[in-house]
Amino acid sequence: MTTIRLPGLVDVHTHLRVPGQTHKEDFASGTAAALAGGFTTILAMPNTQPPITTPEILDLTRAEAQATARCDVGIFAGAAINNSHLLPLLAHHSCGLKIYLDQTFGPLRINDLATLMEHFATWPGPQPIAVHAEENSLAQVLGLAAIYQQKIHICHVSRRAELELIARAKERGLPVTCEVTPHHLFLNSDDAARLGPYGQMRPPLQSEYDRAGLWELLHFVDCIATDHAPHTRAEKESSTPPPGIPGLETALPLMLTAVDAGKLTFSQIIELMSTAPRRIFNLPAVEENTWIEVDTGAIWSIPQFGWQTRAGWSSFAGRTVRGRVERVILRGVEVYAQQIVMAAPGCGEVLF
């Protein structure tokens, strides 16, 4: 057994379904999945029911996180068509503003230019604006970031051309960062055809040309984020399957397998999954008594069942990976070991 110690990982893109859809996930189950995957901090998305677009709903969600989260949690505020006047209030207690310019799960979406301009003009920072912006929408938000001098973070980049455009924007000095997901790095449109609803998410799985492009241009990627988007098996097998797949418990094993294959290094994993996420979202430095232990030699097959996430399935089932989270220590307390979550609900902290 080769055990290495890594700093607690940070996932800057997690869907926890609080409030309103806790049959898919809640803070207790989602943060248990986070710990099992080696994440000690996660940032939760606002496309809940109702969406997190007012100070009241943000406060209620923070209180629920404080009472039930097993790892540290930050919460995004969502941009709605009618809430730009609330952004200064929402900024105090959120890890960033999330704007959806493209189709997603739930009704949160802005495609009216005047409203977008209002949000870019009003968001006070210093936290970034995280955007779901694909293809032409990406060019649109890069223009808005330049004009309003706002720090933007591009969520789940999935196409080669998008990453090339982000690279050009960075070369021009634009305040832009970006994330890619493990599913866009490890699966392509052929897998989508094989997986049916379990291969459906936004943005969709892309061609092999695009998937390979993400690896070729990995030096322009700031962080790996899971876009953990849990839905139940019954929902996925319905006639209208919602988009999204769980990812917290498989992200690190997949990335460690890529290290084993020579595609990146351990120090790149630390940068992409811990250091850069903390820097981009101004999170506190990892405490000395918070770390994870990983067996880099463990070879295992990703199972169909036995997950902490309430989704209870994985699109990667059947894949052999090398590398496994053995133990997680949060502020001196053993919170995960030998595949058992020991963390009590409420031991996580709410950030911001």
Say if residues 331 and 287 touch (Cβ distance below 8 Å). yes
Minimum separation from the CB atom of position 334 to Zn ion (A): 31
Nearer to Zn ion, 177 or 290 (CB): 177
**Residue 266 contact partner, candidates Zn ion, ligand NCD, none, CB within 5 to 8 A by sort of partner:** none
Strands (DSSP E) contained in 35-191 are 39-44, 72-75, 77-78, 97-100, 129-132, 152-154, 176-180
- End-to-end Cα spacing for the chain: 39
Residue of closest CB approach to Zn ion:
227
**Residue 47 contact partner, candidates ligand NCD, Zn ion, none, CB within 5 to 8 A by sort of partner:** ligand NCD
Say if residues 65 and 30 touch (Cβ distance below 8 Å). no
Nearer to ligand NCD, 178 or 328 (CB): 178
Paired tokens of 169 = 């924007």
Of the listed pieces 205-213, 226-234, 235-243, 327-335, which binds Zn ion according to CB under 5 A?
Answer: 226-234
| 25 part of the interface to Zn ion, by CB under 5 A | no
Nearer to Zn ion, 210 or 227 (CB): 227
277-294 burial, b at 16+ Cβ within 10 Å, e below that, comes to bbebbbbeebeeebbbbb
Nearer to ligand NCD, 106 or 323 (CB): 106
| 227 part of the interface to Zn ion, by CB under 5 A | yes
Say if residues 79 and 108 touch (Cβ distance below 8 Å). yes
Say if residues 197 and 241 touch (Cβ distance below 8 Å). yes
Bridge partner list, 3: 295
d(CA 30, CA 28): 6
Q: What is the DSSP letter of 273?
A: I
**Residue 125 contact partner, candidates Zn ion, ligand NCD, none, CB within 5 to 8 A by sort of partner:** none
Minimum separation from the CB atom of position 285 to ligand NCD (A): 28
* CA angle 78–81–83, rounded 5-degree value: 60
Minimum separation from the CB atom of position 11 to ligand NCD (A): 13
Minimum separation from the CB atom of position 212 to ligand NCD (A): 22
Nearer to ligand NCD, 88 or 107 (CB): 107
| 11 part of the interface to Zn ion, by CB under 5 A | no
Going by C-alpha positions, the residue among 65, 123, 64 that lies closest to residue 90 is: 123
Q: Which residues bind Zn ion (CB under 5 A)?
A: 227
